[in-house]
Amino acid sequence: MGASLNEIKQRIASTKKTSQITNAMQMVSGAKLTKSEAASRSFQEYASKIRSIVTHLVAAQLSDLEELDSYDNEEASESGNYHMMLTSRPVKKTGYIVITSDKGLVGGYNSSILKQTMKMMADDHKSQDEYVLIAIGGTGADFFKARGINVAYELRGLSDQPSFDEVRKIVSTATTMYESEVFDELYVCYNHHINSLTSQFRVEKMLPISDLDPDEATTYEQEYILEPSEEAILDNLLPQYAESLIYGAIIDAKTAEHAAGMTAMKTATDNAQNIISDLTISYNRARQGAITQEITEIVAGAAALE
């Protein structure tokens, strides 16, 4: 019985240490989540502004491009890089940027993304030759490589609050691959942050920039003085806009990751407390049993001496 009591005491002590660790990790994830949510809100303001400007400038250009396509296809093809990013082309290959975490301890965050991404690709494609993968996060990169799926580019070790400079290389690589026709459309797959308890798998089309509605331009009353020209400005602005879309998805995914980590650690802490409670009850029962047995033996011994 003594060995059993010591074993239970060791388990209680070990579980308490684990509980302290998971509780500390929960607090750290909570602090990261607060910062990430603030960064996400700030970026949304920037994204809204750049979208309004791009939509305003693109409205007239799309109309001009349609006229050029009608009258002079050669002149239309020379209308600038922005033409390639705006207009759709026959899809021979599809590019996917899959955003996961570098480490575990985030509950079902990674498994949800990877499972639904694999299902989507299986439903939409007949073979691996029809798509190209770009992996952000070591978990996703290792997952795809283990299954023999080619990863054209990967990015590991992003900070908890990634700056644009950190992801500039991968967004530039993605836009360059699109312009070089490595793939003909680009989607980003990630978990969208809703609140601290809920995230939602999301697939967003990034290229070509086909979700801009020229009719939205009528809702903006600003008039811009352009220098040197709309074409030159769009040649520089549209790649930046595409990069901002990808960067925004990364920030959103990081926020969901921190929320998942906080929730997972809270669950682990609660489970540890439940285990400690159950072990304490077991320890008290075992101790009570040992005491009862000792009293019984003493009484029996005293009775034998009479």
- Domain for residue 250, yes or no? yes
* Count of domains for the chain: 2
Percentage of the chain modeled with pLDDT above 70 = 84
> Do 152 and 130 sit in the same domain of this protein?
yes
Would you tell me how many other CB atoms lie within 10 Å of the CB of residue 72? 11
Q: What pLDDT is attached to residue 49?
A: 78
Q: What is the CATH number of the domain that holds 118?
A: 3.40.1380.10
Q: What pLDDT is attached to residue 144?
A: 94
- Domain for residue 168, yes or no? yes
- Domain for residue 66, yes or no? no
> Do 249 and 114 sit in the same domain of this protein?
yes
> Do 168 and 293 sit in the same domain of this protein?
no
> Do 125 and 182 sit in the same domain of this protein?
yes
Q: Containing domain of residue 10, as a range?
A: 5-25+265-304
The contacts of residue 175 (CB under 8 Å, 6+ apart) are 85, 207, 239, 242, 243
Nearest to 258 by CA among 199, 182, 170, 216: 199
- Domain for residue 224, yes or no? yes
DSSP 213-274: -GGGGGG-------SS-HHHHHHHHHHHHHHHHHHHHHHHHHHHHHHHHHHHHHHHHHHHHH
Which tokens hold the place of 153? 């580019």
- Domain for residue 91, yes or no? yes
Nearest to 24 by CA among 271, 261, 256: 261
Helix (H, G, I), strand (E, B) or coil at 150: coil
Q: What pLDDT is attached to residue 60?
A: 57
Separation between Cα atoms, residue 133 and residue 98, nearest integer Å: 7
Asked if 98 contacts 115 with a C-beta cutoff of 8 angstroms, the reply is no
Q: What pLDDT is attached to residue 221?
A: 52
> Do 11 and 91 sit in the same domain of this protein?
no
Which residues of the chain fall below pLDDT 50? 1, 68-81, 217-218
Per-residue model confidence as pLDDT tens digits over 111-165 = 999 999 999 999 999 888 899 999 999 999 999 999 988 899 998 888 888 888 8
Helix (H, G, I), strand (E, B) or coil at 188: strand
> Do 97 and 158 sit in the same domain of this protein?
yes
Nearest to 102 by CA among 155, 161, 149, 180: 155
- Domain for residue 147, yes or no? yes
User: pTM (2 decimals)?
Assistant: 0.80
